[in-house]
Structure 1
Amino acid sequence: MPDIKNLDLITAKVNDFTVNDLKFVTEFRYWVEMDTVQLYDEYNIPMLLINFVLIPKREAPAYKVSIQFKKVGSLQLAAGGTVIQLSWFEIMNISDNGWDSVNYLVRDIESEDRFKFYCNDIEVIAIEEADWIIG
């Protein structure tokens, strides 16, 4: 399991959680936290907030999980229709590769050309029970 801040917010509700339990994307928000007045300054921080639908392995309710990704790069997203379905979601720690400010590769393995990015930091922001009908 990658080093995700506030992961205990999820594991308190779903003790056998894996990132592959994140099955759908319902909201996707990209922005840049501006540190200086220069638009292309290396001190500006690309941010990404994604709301996922978490479907536990056991009989349990679905959850809406908000996760924030910091210092996002090489973002690839192809979406159409309604929610984005994830086939085999993965967050891989690549900090040993020696890339500056890149610790994680985030992707849907089976649809990597449609959903993939790199980031430096990951934090769970919120989790709440969802009453959506899935299926």
Structure 2
Amino acid sequence: MIKNVELITNEIQDFSLINIKLITGFFVSFYKEFEENKSLLEIDFVIEGENGNKFLANFHFHNPQNIRYESGGPYHQISIKIQDIEDIGWENKRYEVIDFEGDTLQFYCSDIEVMSIKGTIYSI
């Protein structure tokens, strides 16, 4: 499901999406690749490990569509859920990403990839 998730599981052995606590960065970019229009949603999440250690993880969501994001401050608490919707058969929509508690985030994407993870002292 998530490419390079081992970057996280090397730091947090029992990682699940419930470990994701905050959004600290949210960036959308558009580019052309081989004459095809592409887009990328880059989100920085604070992830909390089982022993209270915190990590900053950078995720890339490829070809995001129908992005809805509501935030009211310098960081955003979140309860994320990723659903594989490949069976629906929508073009370029393999996953649906939602905030299942606050309903403040929702979008579709074709691929999800962890780009980096590093320790942080960000307080939750």
Same fold (TM over 0.5): yes
Q: Distance in 1 between matches of 2:39 and 2:122?
A: 31
Q: Which residue of 2 aligns with 1:83?
A: 75
| CA offset digits 1:9-64 (Å, max 9, x no partner) | 0001101001121110000110112233xxxxxx31111000000012x2131000
Q: Distance in 2 between matches of 1:28 and 1:82?
A: 11
Would you say 1:74 and 2:66 are equivalent positions?
yes
Q: Distance in 2 between matches of 1:23 and 1:131?
A: 13
Runs of 4+ in 1 over 2 A off after TM superposition: none
| CA offset digits 1:78-133 (Å, max 9, x no partner) | 111120110x2101111111111110000101222x21100000100000000223
* One-letter amino acid matched to 2:77: Q
* One-letter amino acid matched to 1:95: E
CA contact 2:22–2:46 (8 Å) conserved in 1: yes
* SS of the residue 1:44 aligns to: strand
Matches within 5 A, 1:1-135: 3-35=1-33, 36=35, 43-56=36-49, 58-86=50-78, 88-112=79-103, 114-134=104-124
Uncovered stretches (5+) of structure 2, i.e. residues with no partner: none
Q: Which residue of 2 aligns with 1:40?
A: none
More strand by share: 2
* Coordinate RMSD, CA, aligned: 1.1
Tell me how many residue pairs correspond in the alignment.
Answer: 123
CA contact 2:39–2:62 (8 Å) conserved in 1: yes
**Percentage of identical aligned residues:** 31
Uncovered stretches (5+) of structure 1, i.e. residues with no partner: 37-42
